[in-house]
Amino acid sequence: MENVQQKQSMPLLGDNFPKMKVQTTYGVMELPEAFAGKWFVLFSHPADFTPVCTTEFVAFQKRYDRFKALNCELIGLSVDQVFSHIKWEEWIKDKLGVEIQFPIIADTGAVAQTLGLIHPGKGTNTVRAVFVVDNEGKIRIILYYPQELGRNIEEILRAVEGMQISDKNKVAIPANWPDNELIKDNVIVPPATDVKTAKERLEKAKAGEIECYDWWLCHKKLKK
């Protein structure tokens, strides 16, 4: 049974991830403390032994090392009992040759209610939600998908890496990075907010320190 601290409304971007004790396939865990000092991706799925969810879990597992290389852990969730998760993991290993190596929360519904994961009109089934939480326990990204659409795990990896780069370098990440149509793998220098900075941007562009389409759209290559 989860001992969940309920909130009046679902958490928003920038909020601390709600403190909760959860039953998982790896035993009882306390979130977000269990991943202290690490980023983590909590993702919910509608139910065990369903086709789209199975493809997602295989896709997450095949990229698990790449998440860990970003100091990021994975944890799944659905409103299923823990032995259902275990049997499903066994099926995936036996039939598909993939061993799931991250925990899955066996929710009674309390966690899903706290995080706003229950799909309207679909009983107790959870939506395909993704919460990206940083190493300070703050929610940085929230994504929701309908039951019919499987997630693009490469995009979730890109989002985690992009946010970490943004935090470290105080830059913004362009669309489709690192293959942006305008600036390729460059990152965006935050727009100037005063006349002095705008002029300085153009001077830096002339000096070759950055590149600019105009004072408000400047970009640069990340230093290795």
Q: Give me the active site residues, please.
A: 53
Q: Is 192 helix (H, G, I), strand (E, B) or coil?
A: coil
Determine which helix (DSSP H) or strand (DSSP E) holds 211, and give its type and residue range: strand 211-214
Bridge partner list, 3: 21
Residue 150 in contact with residue 143, Cβ under 8 Å? no
Residues 6+ apart with CB under 8 A from 118: 109, 112, 124, 125, 126, 127
Residue 117 in contact with residue 109, Cβ under 8 Å? no
What distance in Å separates the CA atoms of residue 117 and residue 128, rounded to the nearest whole number? 8
